[in-house]
Amino acid sequence: MQVSIPAKVQNRFVSTRKVKNAIECYIWDQENDMIETYYQIPNNNQNLHEYSHFRFVLDKDGALWSDANLFLLYKVKDNPKLSPSRMKYFVDNLTKFKEFCDNYDTDYLKPVGFNDTPTHRYRNYLEHVTDKTPKAAKRCMQAVTIFYEWMFEYNGFSTPFPLWKEKIVPNKKGWPVKVKDVCQFIGEKHREPTTSTYVTDEEHLRPLSDKEQNALLDALARIGNPEYTIIFYIALESMARKQTILTLRLHHFVDSLPESYSPKDIDKWFKILTWPSDVERKTIMVGLGQDADSKKGRYESYPIYIFGWLWKRIIVYIVSQRAFKRRSKALPQDNELKQYVFLTQSGHAMYHAKNDLYYNDIAKTGLNEVHEGNCLDQW
């Protein structure tokens, strides 16, 4: 519950305390012997009685920045033992971010374009205007992205443009971790992998061991999701990237479709197909001019290979009721055979190919942004 907000908090004592079943952030005006309540939120942690190190984020005029202070109050509720240094870290960096927004005509709630968001602007400012080291700039940006993550999840915030993109890189122990592009800076030192089993391909990619592959396949079998099972099998067999696999079209596997999806017509259609043997290698051309994207769309066409047993499984999936229902919800491409093999439940592309009819006008699909396989990453 939001209550009265004083204009300034300088020279006043600030803390939080437990009031019945809520956490109350209050300001004690010692001179007038008054307590002014700032925010009050429900408290499920009955052990929290008081937090004595609460600080506020102010804008350049000394007024309270409500979203940032609600975020800090959430951090206290989430972790009653939040250290003073951690509190100071968030307050200092969010204050600097708000100063940047105020001084450089940047609305922290309204990104202008895909690469013109408050986070991208602030990152460029930290890298090119300030004298911060890459490590210090990264810490500043991490505080800002943590704040925005809270805004998205708990404060009902949404934006038509992504504030950052995530990719997977190895940590110090070589395990893959997600990092945000706005938190990476020129000159930042990355630990090189200590094993020669990594693939040198701009990123440090490590092939899965046999044990890891078997564990992955066992997990897929238990989960029983046909789309992701086929996607992972294609990846394991062909070593293709997600932008290639998720932009495969029907014509990469079939030259026609059944007249209807009744069992009789499907059986009739099966009989006119030429089925490969299980161990036969089937070729799929991808890349430029092939309707399946390559890395960054910059490579000429090239082949990927999968075995016949998987090829047959893909064809069976294509004419399944599950796949047909997804295609029936999808917006049409140039022709029905140019439709994606893999679609979401709502009929959207999992990954929009560069030559997708709606790539440059994504609003027609009812989406806010181009899909780039995020559903696969999250899954």
159-200: pLDDT as tens digits: 888 899 888 877 666 677 788 888 887 555 444 444 445 544
pLDDT at 32: 54
DSSP 214-252: HHHHHHHHHH--HHHHHHHHHHHHH---HHHHTT-BGGG
Provide, rounded to the nearest whole percent, the portion of the chain with pLDDT above 70. 77
pLDDT, tens only, 34-89 = 545 555 555 555 454 466 667 888 877 778 898 998 999 888 888 878 888 888 99
Annotate 73-101 with three-state secondary structure: HHHHHHCCCCCHHHHHHHHHHHHHHHHHH
Predicted confidence band of residue 284 (pLDDT cuts 50, 70, 90): very high
SS3 24: strand
Phi, psi values for residue 171, rounded to 5° = -85, -170
pLDDT at 26: 54
**Least confident window among 95-99, 207-211, 237-241, 351-355:** 207-211
User: What six digits make up the tokens of 60?
Assistant: 């350049």
Claim: this prediction has a pTM higher than 0.75: no
Q: Is the pLDDT of residue 143 over 50?
A: yes
Question: Which of 18 and 174 is assigned the larger pLDDT?
Answer: 174
- For residues 128 and 257, give the distance between their C-alpha atoms in angstroms, rounded to a whole number: 55
pLDDT at 166: 85
Question: Which of 213 and 174 is assigned the larger pLDDT?
Answer: 213
pLDDT at 141: 93
Strand-pair category, 22-29 with 34-42: antiparallel
Predicted confidence band of residue 378 (pLDDT cuts 50, 70, 90): low
Considering the chain, what is the average pLDDT of its residues? 79
- For residues 110 and 161, give the distance between their C-alpha atoms in angstroms, rounded to a whole number: 9
Q: Is the pLDDT of residue 208 over 70?
A: yes
**What phi-psi label fits residue 11: left (phi over 0), alpha (psi between -120 and 50 degrees) or beta?**
left
Provide, rounded to the nearest whole percent, the portion of the chain with pLDDT above 90. 31
SS3 302: strand
User: What six digits make up the tokens of 296?
Assistant: 């960054």
Mean of the pLDDT values across residues 139-168?
90
Predicted confidence band of residue 151 (pLDDT cuts 50, 70, 90): very high
